[in-house]
Chain A
C-alpha cells in the first residue's frame, strides 16, 4: 500500500519553461515533506522541504506547495535547466516516535530538453 504516490513516471519540458512535479499522500500522520533529486549511480540529494504548518516554501528556482486538505504537494522548477534532468523523489516523515523513517514515492524522471 503506497502511502506516497507519484503518479507520473516521467515528465519532459523545454529549457526555460516551468516543471511541475506532483505527489499525493494518504497518511494524515505525515507532517514533513521533502523532495530529493537523484542522478544515475548517485544517492538521492536533498532539494527542498516543507513542514505541514506551511503551504509554500521557496528556494531559488525551486518552490514546493503543500495542500493539506487534498493531501497533495507539488514541486515547481522555474526556469527549468538541462542540468535539472534527474529522477525526483517525494518523501514524507511522520511526527512523533518514528519521525526518522522516510517514506518515498516511486519517483518521476524529469527530462529538460535544450
Chain B
C-alpha cells in the first residue's frame, strides 16, 4: 500500500509569508505526528494527533505554528509570518501503534 506522502516536497518562502504543509498518512492510521529537522540535527517532535484530536502540541516552537487534522485523516501544518529560523525539513509520521511510526519524505522549507 501507499506510504505517508507529503506536499509540497520543497517550499521556498519569503520572510513574513504564510505557508501550509500537507500530510497524507497511511490509510487507517489513527495517530499522526509532525517533526521538525534542522540541518545537521535529528528530528524534533512538534505535535501529535489521535484521529482529529490534537493531544499534544508541546513541541510547536511558537504561536506562529498551527496544525490541524479536521477529519482525522489529512493533516496540515501552517506556519504564519515565516522567519529564517523556520527553515528546516518538516516530517510527518503516522502509526497504528504509537511506537511504530512511519515517516513521509518530508517537506524542505527554505525561508529567504
Contacts and interface: CB of A to CB of B under 8 A. Distances in A.
Contacts of A102: 33, 35, 43, 45, 101
A99 B98 contact: yes
Nearest to B37: A104
Contacts, number: 55
Contact of B105 (A32, A34, A41, A103): A41
B103 A45 contact: yes
A92 to B, nearest CB: 11
A100 B44 contact: no
A61 B59 CA distance: 35
Interface SS, B side: loop
B56 interface: yes
Interface in B25-44: 31, 33, 35, 40-44
A49 B99 contact: yes
A43 B42 contact: no
A93 B42 contact: no
A44 B103 contact: yes
Interface residues of B, number: 25
Contacts of B43: 44, 89, 102, 104
A105 B104 contact: no
Nearest to B103: A43
Given A45-B103, A46-B102, A100-B31, A107 B48 contact: no
Interface string A1-43: 0001000000000000000000000000000101010000111
Contacts of A4: 42
Given A46-B101, A104-B42, 9 more contacts: A45-B103, A46-B100, A46-B102, A49-B99, A99-B98, A100-B31, A100-B101, A102-B101, A106-B42
26 contacts: A32-B99, A42-B105, A43-B4, A43-B93, A43-B104, A43-B106, A44-B43, A44-B103, A45-B103, A46-B100, A46-B101, A89-B43, A93-B99, A98-B56, A99-B98, A99-B99, A100-B31, A100-B33, A100-B56, A100-B101, A101-B59, A102-B101, A104-B44, A106-B40, A106-B41, A106-B42
